[in-house]
Amino acid sequence: MKIRLLCATLAAAVTPAWAGGDAAAEREAMIDLAWKRGCFNCHDVDKKVRGPAWVAVAERYRDDPEAFERLVVKVQQGGRGNWGDDYMSPNRRVPEADIRKLVGWLLTLEGEAEVTDGEAAK
Ligand code: HEC
């Protein structure tokens, strides 16, 4: 009995919040953070705004194990050229830890972007 209880506790401790039933809570927290950090001035989860829909970003880099670090740097420093001519300005005031959280999460997104033809919805 005691052992079983311990196992359950351990499993809960090592399971990331977004792996199980907490996905919705994780999503809510990340969306809040994206608003707070200004990402959603230019992005949406499943729509192109100025920047690409995050589901489209996830789709593009899904099989690229190096994408995460590269994208963290890109979000910090800004840049253009991967999704058209529009420019992502540097997000230097956003703490790196938050950028890592946001990029890590957005790369897990699944689904289809509503606008995929490159036309800005704005
Ligand atoms: C001023 C508008 C703007 C803001 C604010 C912004 N982005 Fe972007 N983002 C863009 C644009 C435009 C692109 C497309 C750049 C390109 O074509 O390479 C982009 C691209 C991206 C990409 C894909 C980069 C690539 O090379 O494929 C990621 C990931 C991303 N943004 C995440 C974020 C996160 C996280 C934040 C908030 C911390 C954020 N963005 C804030 C406009 C913005």
Tell me if 27 sits within 8 A of 34, measured CB to CB: no
Model confidence at 114, pLDDT cuts 50, 70, 90, reads confident
45 lines ligand 1 (CB under 6 A): no
- CA dist 64 and 74 (Å) reads 15
* Amino acid at position 42, single letter: C
Model confidence at 78, pLDDT cuts 50, 70, 90, reads very high
Model confidence at 11, pLDDT cuts 50, 70, 90, reads low
Span from the CA of 33 to the centroid of ligand 1 (angstroms): 15
26 lines ligand 1 (CB under 6 A): no
